[in-house]
Homo-oligomer: A and B are copies of this chain.
Amino acid sequence: MVLPLTHPLSDGRTTHSSLVRAYSGQRPERLPVWFMRQAGRSLPEYKAARGGTAMLDACLTPELASEITLQPVRRHGVDAAIFFSDIVVPLRLAGVDVEIKPGVGPVMGAAIRTADDVARLRELTLTPADLEPVSQGVALTVEALGSTPLIGFAGAPFTLAAYLVEGGPSRDHLAARTLMHADPETWRALTEWAADVTGAFLRAQVLAGASAAQLFDSWAGSLSLGDYTQHVAPASTRALSQVKDLDVRTVHFGTGTGELLAAMRDVGADVVGVDYRIPLDEASRRLGGHTPIQGNIDPALLAAPWPVLEAHARDVVARGASAPGHVVNLGHGVPPTTDPDVLTRLVGLIHSL
């Protein structure tokens, strides 16, 4: 497969899309909407396409990852696709022993706890050739999407480091939070490596045609502002710096991050995703009123009667008007049990407002 030589934004394909305009702080005629985790487990066609393929294998099979990415665009008419992947994909491609266990999440062959562990980890590198399955999946998707933008996707260094240090999912990320205080040098070496790996993964998606890039710091909400600023933000800046020379808007999101919104923008993101806990007008106030925002319909209300969901969605849109640009989304991912028809109806509502 031949990859595009120049970044697609330069061909103007998605420049005038409502998503890119809202991410740029404009107010397009029609409010853009997409849903975190729109590709995947809530759709029957996803289950049919993926069948028994293991999660990481699905992410690394270009045709399959592309098909799964396109499904919610076809079904719901959302204003953007987000590349079907997982935050641990770059770890796997770099040679880390990681699996995604159904019902559990990413599980490492061995936890990374010591300076020696980190030194060995840092010998693993991620080259453009390693990232070829991702680049191919993105290129296929972008070609099919036409003027609908694709959002690239990567985990933030803290979240990756938390998985590596804990050896898998954890509730409070205690071991990772201990390490950053107990051995700040080792922590910095670990998060710098994670930043380089996840940044390369994000850059590959943009080079292959993604029009925007979202950094997910899933676990940032477990941090105090002080710990975030001192021990986490530098690595997130380093990750995002890998797409700074490319003409793409970057979005930064984590749940439970009401205290961190400005700090998460200040690592170099253009747009801040807001979880369902903080009203968008309050979030925009905390951001100084100059930052485009994304969010924040409460996923819990997707299962409520339509009038309840509709009233909530209208409230989210009204509060979002206080920001310079607003991309409607959920305040967390689509729950697996969601009725897909509700999402389709919600897109229709948002587009009618």
Contacts and interface: CB of A to CB of B under 8 A. Distances in A.
Interface in A330-351: 332, 335
A223 B279 CA distance: 12
Given A223-B277, A226-B279, A277-B223, A304 B178 contact: yes
22 contacts: A172-B332, A174-B299, A174-B300, A174-B335, A177-B300, A178-B303, A178-B304, A181-B301, A181-B308, A181-B312, A182-B303, A182-B305, A221-B256, A224-B276, A224-B277, A224-B278, A224-B279, A225-B277, A226-B279, A256-B256, A259-B277, A259-B278
Contact of A259 (B177, B223, B258, B335): B258
A270 interface: no
A84 to B, nearest CB: 21
A67 interface: no
Interface residues on A, range: 20 to 34
Contact of A300 (B172, B225, B256, B305): B172
B181 A304 contact: yes
Contacts of A175: 303
A298 interface: yes
A190 B300 CA distance: 18
Given A177-B300, A256-B256, 11 more contacts: A172-B299, A174-B299, A175-B303, A178-B303, A182-B305, A182-B308, A222-B277, A224-B277, A226-B279, A258-B258, A259-B277
- How many copies are assembled? 2
Nearest to A296: B224
Contacts of A279: 224, 226
Interface in A162-196: 172, 174-175, 177-178, 181-182
Contacts of A222: 277
Nearest to A174: B300
Contact of A304 (B182, B298, B304): B182
Nearest to A304: B182
A180 B172 CA distance: 26
A302 to B, nearest CB: 8
A148 B304 CA distance: 49
A221 B277 CA distance: 9
A174 B334 CA distance: 11
Contacts of A304: 178, 181-182
Nearest to A332: B172
Contacts of A174: 299-300, 303, 335
- Residue of A177, A221, A299 with most partner-chain B CB within 10 A: A177
- Give the 10 A-B CB pairs with smallest separation, nearest first: A177-B300, A182-B304, A178-B303, A178-B300, A224-B277, A181-B304, A174-B300, A181-B308, A178-B304, A174-B335
